[in-house]
Amino acid sequence: MSSSAMQQAKPWKIAFEEHFLLRGVETKLPGRAGIIPDIAEKLRKILEVGEERIAAMDRAGIEFTILSLNAPGIQGEVEPIHAVRLAKTVNDELAALVSKHPKRFGGFAAVPLQEPKAAADELERAVRQLGFKGALVNGYSNLGDENTAEYLDEPKFLPFWERAQDLDVPIYLHPRDPLPTQQRIYHGHPELLAATWAFGVETGTHVLRLITSGLFDRYPRLTVLLGHLGEMVPFTVWRTEKCLSQTQLERPLKKRFSQYVCENFYYTTAAFFSTTALIDVMLEVGSDRICFSIDYPWQSMEEGGAWFDGASISEPDRLKIGRTNAMNLFKLNL
């Protein structure tokens, strides 16, 4: 059955880089958001989790969406006590939203990594009690002020990663802009911040830190999700692996760089509706490690759905990427 026939029969795709906000945190948006011409409409859409969003899903052929708190979310809270409290509130409110449409929505936990043990406990609560499918982390976590940050390869976060592996749930590593004091290269060019360029550089580097720290040697069953077809990482595998093989590593790795890229990560089409790029990533990591997504409301469901349904890939790959990979990853029973 062709994808167009499946879409006419019923919404069939699954998407999981799809964002929401709650009133009171709507001003915490990426730096480039201020120069997006239709930001007011985007903000209106991100606050709506109900019939309008479901109607857009239907038009795009999307059956099920996993919702996550928009960047920077909990990671942007500078006070650990406030981050812990806010994460619980956000997750409880998201669970209430999901409960109204459980066949159409699921949830990713927001986790207060300013306190790693609390983040691990909140992840477990969200998965076991609220039925969430994992967590979405918006890059580094601020601590004390907006120019102080901790990245997830640092040893203090090992209890969080251990809990994620024990729970057998994936962690979505979502972008945010570099620290304000580390944005010199973007000065005078705000158009290059956020999704245009800075997100990919920031998050791709974060991924390399995770791999070269030995995290996946310590926890080999960990699964990390990356949007935007992998934040540029899959496109540089050969060169990165070659250079690492010629480098005296402080922490020698048990596997080749390319093995971690193919075995510990999944990649989504969120906000990257390019067939050429999709095929490149398929050739690098295989179609079993790629999933469909949109990045709503920052990108159009209708545009992303139409692109994917018409992309020049095989029908078996279209079904895997659009649906069955996500079904298996999140243990869905739709």
Catalytic residues: 295
Report how far residue 174's alpha carbon sits from residue 206's, in angstroms, rounded to the nearest whole number.
Answer: 10
- CA dist 89 to 37, 85, 119, 246, 275, Å? 31, 6, 13, 48, 39
> How many angstroms separate the CA atoms of 61 and 307, rounded?
11
Distance of CA 302 to the CA centre of its chain: 20
Please tell me the total number of residues recorded for the chain in this structure.
334
- HSE (CB half, 13 Å, CA atoms) of 210? 28
How many other C-beta atoms are found inside a 10 Å radius of the C-beta of residue 182?
Answer: 13
**What is the CB-side half-sphere exposure of residue 247 using CA atoms within 13 A?**
14
- Which helix (H) or strand (E) segment holds residue 8: the answer is helix 3-9
Q: Please name which of 102, 122, 115 lies closest in space to residue 169, comparing C-alpha atoms.
A: 122
Q: 95: how many CB neighbours lie within 10 A of its CB?
A: 16
Distances (CA, A) of 44 to 50, 176, 205, 244, 286: 12, 21, 32, 45, 37
Task: State phi, psi for 13 to the nearest 5 degrees.
Answer: -80, 160
CA atoms of 8 and 169, how far apart (whole Å) = 32
Task: State how far the Cα of 133 lies from the Cα of 127, in Å rounded to an integer.
Answer: 6
Q: Count CB neighbours of 80 within 10 A.
A: 17
- Per the rule left: phi > 0, alpha: psi between -120 and 50, beta: everything else, 313 is beta
